[in-house]
Amino acid sequence: MLSKLRQSYHQQLCTHILFLKSDGIPNFADKHSRPSVALAKNIVQQFGYPLRQNAPSGQAAGVAFEEITMTFIRASLDILQHIRPASWEFSVHSTIKGFEQYAHLADLEALLSERKDLRAALGDYLIKPDIVIGRMPLADHEINRKELIVDDTVAQLTPLRRENFSHPKPILHASISCKWTIRSDRSQNSRTEGLNLIRNRKGHTPHIAVVTAEPYPQRIASLALGTGDIDCVYHIALPELQIAAEAYGNPAVLDMLNTLVNGKRLRDISDLPLDLIT
């Protein structure tokens, strides 16, 4: 099933985003980089699906990438319910103040809206990740389904129990940033978002991941190398990228790609759903 979902994911990307420019270069390659063009062309050839006939705008491509990726993750978690049963909530560009670990930031936002001098000093805490996944709190009858586990004398503060709060909020399970390409310093805002999620939480840290179609390993490395602010970078087609890199035969490209994979900093999109339930 996961293989079929992955194939459908690639087909949707080809249908709604992937496009060959007039010079035959895929719209996720850097035309000024020979390795980037060669790798992207090889990946598209391996996909083998019909592509868009007209170029999407940058904004339209970004929105489509987020929606298609969210659909893939939702469908994947559905088939993994027997491993990690949960009621998941998915959304795009939702502010983190709606989640349990970050609800206190709403009060801070209200204060900053009144004190412009403080906003200038403290900045903006209410980030809106590309994709957010929340886990809904459980009613006691769900927790006690097999036997009496909780009652009015225990576990009265955990956000997983719906009965503990008059207005329970979902628990932020994952924040996923979608980068169709990695071209500029703007791509590094994924790190800033990750650090904000880590530093400003009250509760456990959500999964923090980046999904990209970037074909050039050296560009991926600018975001993937290092630890602490991002769990891992996930490529839309890592096995296809590895095949393309082998065919291209550039030692620097192969070495960097191997470094990222063996160093546990780059994985395939099909790894993401399973990582999300660990």
The pLDDT tens digits for 132-159 are 999 999 999 999 999 999 999 999 999 9
* pLDDT surpasses 90 at 35: yes
Those residues whose C-beta lies under 8 Å from the C-beta of residue 68, and which sit 6 or more positions away, are 9, 12, 13, 16, 17
In the chain, the number of structural domains is: 1
pTM of the complete model: 0.94
Decide if 83 contacts 277 (C-beta within 8 A): yes
* pLDDT surpasses 70 at 123: no
Domain presence at residue 77: yes
Domain presence at residue 226: yes
* pLDDT surpasses 70 at 104: yes
pLDDT score of 79 = 97
Domain presence at residue 6: no
Domain presence at residue 214: yes
Domain presence at residue 26: no
Average pLDDT of the chain is 93
189: pLDDT confidence band, cut at 50, 70 and 90?
confident
Segment 176-198 mean pLDDT: 87
Domain of residue 240, residue span? 58-276
Distance CA 151, CA 60 (A): 50
pLDDT score of 173 = 97
Return the top range by mean pLDDT from 89-103, 221-235, 253-267: 253-267
Alpha carbon dihedral 275, 132, 196, 122, in 10-degree steps, equals 180
pLDDT score of 106 = 83
pLDDT score of 226 = 84
pLDDT score of 215 = 97
Domain presence at residue 144: yes
* pLDDT surpasses 70 at 9: yes
Where residue 224 sits, what CATH number does that domain have? 3.40.50.10010
Alpha carbon dihedral 196, 224, 43, 262, in 10-degree steps, equals -140
Domain presence at residue 259: yes
